[in-house]
A and B are shown apart, each in its own frame.
Chain A
């Protein structure tokens, strides 16, 4: 089993400040009301610093990175561009 990191939001805590989008627009968009829309799937390794910064700066501690396991025989979850 390989491991990778995914973004997740506690939707009850989140109140749509939008900092996460400012800091990590590559994987976090905002809807018409300012609430985050996360790109699905693993955070690519070369973007992990951005992801960590967005998580650290969420003013209500709603954003987090969680590890997800993928079977070793599935497609490599992390693709470098």
Chain B
């Protein structure tokens, strides 16, 4: 990694939050948000870091065109993904990068108010964002409020976030309209992950060529990743986009007794064999082209001796529990899949359970108001492929070679 600016460069992270004066002394003032800033953002190739990897400039442009100066911004720091910690680390230690991004976006798309939507469970992040906001210029303070989001997985989904800010209900709403058409106060709303906003603050200062140069190969910029499971130092690392997953694991001190699979992208990503994962570049577009996902930047190394079927059962049980319970296919389908995978994991499979899991998970995509069931389907599908031998043994009630009873704590 170069010694130049990046999201986590600057004073040591252990020193806590970087205050506004230090932030400005280190990085200089934020350039204005205008057409030039939008063009720079477009050329930078920045993709959203909340999970969907949508081109950021495209989103800003569509909000700006619809809003005619009357847009709203929602900085999404809900971070409901259980294995992700990168957003709260960023908000705790570099809150002014996020607030710079909010200010830049507000000027660029023409917004008159902004919401900092921060997971209520992330107390230190809420406190840091509140303290940092108090240090901002008066005009920014007046247009910005902090809303603590409930600790529910779907609370971070963009329509659920807007719904919570508007009506106190953190449940997804039917689309259309999408939030960029009608969101907070019925106005076009830019919902953007906090890491994404922080990147825009640096791109505005240093330019698109600088940002592209940070990436490895053809990728642009850096990425915050949360590395967990069988690694020496669990935590958040910042790596050039396009580095391999193996290099990211090395940044976390290297693997410690890894098993034969990695959960890439988190609960809404998927299982990848270690062989394939180690060489895979951390690049949303590339991973997607291979049927994988960067998601919110989670890399969880399955420890040796852990059963992938049992780990998957735990994750699917969580996702079923976290359904907003609004849409039938998600409520009933996810619950049935979770129960069947649980039976498989604990050698209590009924005849046809494996085939039912395959069929049901194949039917989930596109059948919810939000993409919760889609994500679960991808996770289950990846598990069926990666742990095919184990699933077959479990389906025949012959257990597996891993000994899950030894230790209950895996990656999930």
Residue A32 CB within 8 A of the other chain: yes
- CA gap between A13 and B368 in the complex, in Å: 11
- Chain B residues whose C-beta falls within 8 Å of the C-beta of A33 in the assembled complex: 328-329, 332-333, 336
Interface string of B330-350 (1 = CB under 8 A from A): 101100100000000000000
Are A35 and B174 closer than 8 Å at their CB atoms? Answer: no
Residue A16 CB within 8 A of the other chain: yes
- CA gap between A34 and B330 in the complex, in Å: 13
Are A12 and B174 closer than 8 Å at their CB atoms? Answer: yes
Are B369 and A31 closer than 8 Å at their CB atoms? Answer: no
Residue A22 CB within 8 A of the other chain: no
Residue B326 CB within 8 A of the other chain: yes
Are B360 and A35 closer than 8 Å at their CB atoms? Answer: no
Are B328 and A15 closer than 8 Å at their CB atoms? Answer: yes
- Chain B residues whose C-beta falls within 8 Å of the C-beta of A48 in the assembled complex: none
Residue A45 CB within 8 A of the other chain: no
- CA gap between A16 and B332 in the complex, in Å: 11
Contacts A12-B369, A37-B367; A31 near B333 (Cβ below 8 A):
yes
- Chain A residues whose C-beta falls within 8 Å of the C-beta of B332 in the assembled complex: 32-33, 35
- Chain A residues whose C-beta falls within 8 Å of the C-beta of B363 in the assembled complex: 31, 37
Residue A53 CB within 8 A of the other chain: no
- Chain B residues whose C-beta falls within 8 Å of the C-beta of A69 in the assembled complex: none
- CA gap between A17 and B327 in the complex, in Å: 13
Are A31 and B326 closer than 8 Å at their CB atoms? Answer: no
Are B174 and A31 closer than 8 Å at their CB atoms? Answer: no
A62 nearest in chain B by CB position: B174
- CA gap between A34 and B336 in the complex, in Å: 14
- Chain A residues whose C-beta falls within 8 Å of the C-beta of B174 in the assembled complex: 10-13
Residue A14 CB within 8 A of the other chain: yes
- Chain B residues whose C-beta falls within 8 Å of the C-beta of A32 in the assembled complex: 332, 336, 360
- Chain B residues whose C-beta falls within 8 Å of the C-beta of A16 in the assembled complex: 328
- What bracket does the count of chain B residues touching chain A fall in? 10 to 19
B328 nearest in chain A by CB position: A35
- Chain B residues whose C-beta falls within 8 Å of the C-beta of A13 in the assembled complex: 174
- CA gap between A15 and B368 in the complex, in Å: 12
Contacts A31-B333, A32-B336, A33-B333; A14 near B360 (Cβ below 8 A):
no
Interface centre among B173, B328, B332 (most CB of A within 10 A): B328
Interface string of B355-378 (1 = CB under 8 A from A): 000001001000111000000000
Nearest CB of chain A from residue B121's CB, rounded to whole Å: 26
Nearest CB of chain A from residue B376's CB, rounded to whole Å: 15
- Chain B residues whose C-beta falls within 8 Å of the C-beta of A34 in the assembled complex: 328
Are A11 and B360 closer than 8 Å at their CB atoms? Answer: no
- CA gap between A8 and B264 in the complex, in Å: 32
Which chain A residues (10-45) contact chain B, with CB distance < 8 Å? 10-16, 31-35, 37
- CA gap between A37 and B333 in the complex, in Å: 12
- CA gap between A10 and B176 in the complex, in Å: 10
Are B328 and A14 closer than 8 Å at their CB atoms? Answer: yes
Are B326 and A12 closer than 8 Å at their CB atoms? Answer: yes
- Chain B residues whose C-beta falls within 8 Å of the C-beta of A31 in the assembled complex: 329, 333, 360, 363
Are A11 and B333 closer than 8 Å at their CB atoms? Answer: no
Are B329 and A12 closer than 8 Å at their CB atoms? Answer: no
Nearest CB of chain B from residue A59's CB, rounded to whole Å: 14
Contacts A31-B363, A32-B360, A37-B367; A11 near B327 (Cβ below 8 A):
yes
Contacts A32-B360, A35-B367, A37-B363; A11 near B336 (Cβ below 8 A):
no
B331 nearest in chain A by CB position: A33
Given contacts A12-B369, A31-B363, 12 further A-B contacts (CB under 8 A): A10-B174, A10-B369, A11-B326, A11-B328, A11-B329, A11-B330, A12-B174, A14-B327, A31-B333, A32-B360, A35-B329, A35-B332
B residues with a Cβ closer than 8 A to A are 173-174, 326-330, 332-333, 336, 360, 363, 367-369
A residues with a Cβ closer than 8 A to B are 10-16, 31-35, 37
Q: Which 4 pairs, one residue from A and one from B, show the smallest C-beta to C-beta distance? A: A11-B327, A33-B332, A35-B328, A12-B326
Sampled A-B contacts (17; CB under 8 Å): A10-B174, A11-B174, A11-B327, A11-B367, A12-B174, A12-B326, A12-B369, A13-B174, A14-B327, A31-B333, A32-B332, A32-B336, A33-B328, A33-B333, A33-B336, A35-B328, A35-B332
